Amino acid sequence: MLVIFTSSSKVMVSKPRCVDWARVEEVLKALSSSPNLLANDRGCYVYGMGGQPKALYEGLQTQSGVLVLWFDSIAPKWLRLIAGGVPSHSGLIKITDLSKLEGIFLLVSESSMAGIYFFKNALLEGFLSLVRVNASLAVIDQHVQTDNRCLIYQLDSNNASSETGQFEFLFAGDQCRAEVDAISAILS
């Protein structure tokens, strides 16, 4: 079995590591085929952290199986006027059909940074508030990590310090062991 996390008594976490697209696609397929991650009033959210055109999120609004909760430019307002159509949009998408997860995530993460978040729906309001104000990733992740069954997968697909251009990071709460084992089995 391929181990994707190191374990402690409280969390399972991987160190950020350089990955190729084949690995990213394997992880996405594993997450897409893990319906237990949505059990017990839980949701799946894709957070695009910027660098996408507004049209990407507008186009996703018409797709079934996804719900665009929010999107906006992360560029300062004065720069938006000067730069016009520069891809600078960040957005939050709820995935209601896990079969859509891989395709949506690949779109949102292209040449940018994005994350997949599984957590209890009760945390959504706070999560959305943090995303809207462009809070630091550390603050957003800490909010989600209050759910001991959360799972976070983040990908930086435009990282100059990576040999492949991509870095991934995985985090799972301590009560997510069964899901992590299932994902590890799929990846092995």
d(CA 49, CA 156): 10
SS (H, E, C) the chain: CCCCCEECCCEEECCCEECCHHHHHHHHHHHHCCHHHHCCCEEEEEEEEEEECHHHHHHHCCCCCEEEEEEEECCCHHHHHHHCCCCCEEEEEEECCHHHHHHHHHHHHCCCEEEEEEEEHHHHHHHHHHHHCCCCHHHHHHHHCCCCCCEEEEEECCCCCCCCCCEEEEEEEHHHHHHHHHHHHHHC
Q: Tell me, what's the pLDDT at 16?
A: 73
Q: Tell me, what's the pLDDT at 6?
A: 45
Q: Is the pLDDT of residue 44 over 60?
A: yes
pLDDT tens digits, residue range 112-143? 899 999 999 999 999 999 999 988 989 999 99
The whole-model pTM stands at: 0.88
| 35 vs 124 pLDDT, higher one | 124
| 182 vs 49 pLDDT, higher one | 49
d(CA 174, CA 87): 37
- Work out the pLDDT band at 3, boundaries 50, 70, 90: very low
| 56 vs 157 pLDDT, higher one | 56
Q: Is the pLDDT of residue 41 over 60?
A: yes
Mean pLDDT of the region 2-23: 61
